[in-house]
Amino acid sequence: MSADAAHMIRLVLISLLSLVLCSPGWAGAWLRNTGSGFTAASVTAFPEDDGVYKYKAAIYSEWGMKPNLTLGVDAEEHQDLYGHALIFARIPVADFGSAGRMAAEFGVGAHHRQYGAWAMYKTTLSYGKGINTGLGAGWIALDAALEYRTHEALIRKLDFTAGLSSGRRLDPLLQIETSYTPGRPWYWSARPSLIYRPKTGKTSWIVGAERNSARDHTGFKIALWLDY
């Protein structure tokens, strides 16, 4: 079997798994209502100096199993070179009313580099808050995580998300991710995007750009959000 075929099979299997587990695409501190779900699929392409594009593909899905329990899958693949797939459970920690809320996630899965694969574990503490602005309602979220990738490292992560859910067809979204691996420089990525909501249905399209510390060129991202 060729490397391209093996990569395609891996992506198909991840897609099917996320759909089986199957409002705005809020993760972190917000739990799903019982019986409801959300799935996001995205592809980001980065131009290289030789004119070739490299890409990463990601799928995220979560489902409300009980009022105090949300289950989900988080998977990402980078050009068949490295990636991960993680199953997680989210539980509430505290509700501060209008001041926001907190939740915790516990995940287990695997990461790979080419054909080698190892276990990984992740613990996340999240804070989220609904906001009202002159442009409409929205939300902010802050996620602090410890990600232990066996045979690799213990990674510290801190992510920030802010967006609007005004009811308009177009709304802005900003995602900033940072991580630190001992012995390596800090990593960061920034993704400003626009959320497009069609008149009918429970889908949203996200189009934006990504700039990160690992690449010299800006990437282009397109994503689809589905609510169930």
pLDDT one digit per residue (tens) for the chain, 228 residues: 444 444 444 444 443 333 333 334 456 799 999 999 999 999 999 998 888 999 999 999 999 999 999 999 999 999 879 999 999 999 999 999 999 999 999 999 999 999 999 999 999 999 999 999 888 899 999 999 999 999 989 999 999 999 998 888 999 999 999 999 999 999 999 999 999 999 877 899 999 999 999 998 999 999 999 998
**What is the per-residue DSSP string for 183-202?**
TS--EEEEEEEEEE--SSSS
* CATH 2.40.160.40 for the 3-227 domain, yes or no: yes
Which residues make Cβ contacts (< 8 Å) with residue 32, sequence separation at least 6? Answer: 38, 62, 63, 64, 70
Domain positions in the chain are 3-227
Tracing tokens 């809020």 back to the chain, one arrives at 26
CB 64 within 8 A of CB 70: yes
Asked whether 123 and 104 are in contact (CB, 8 A), the reply is: yes
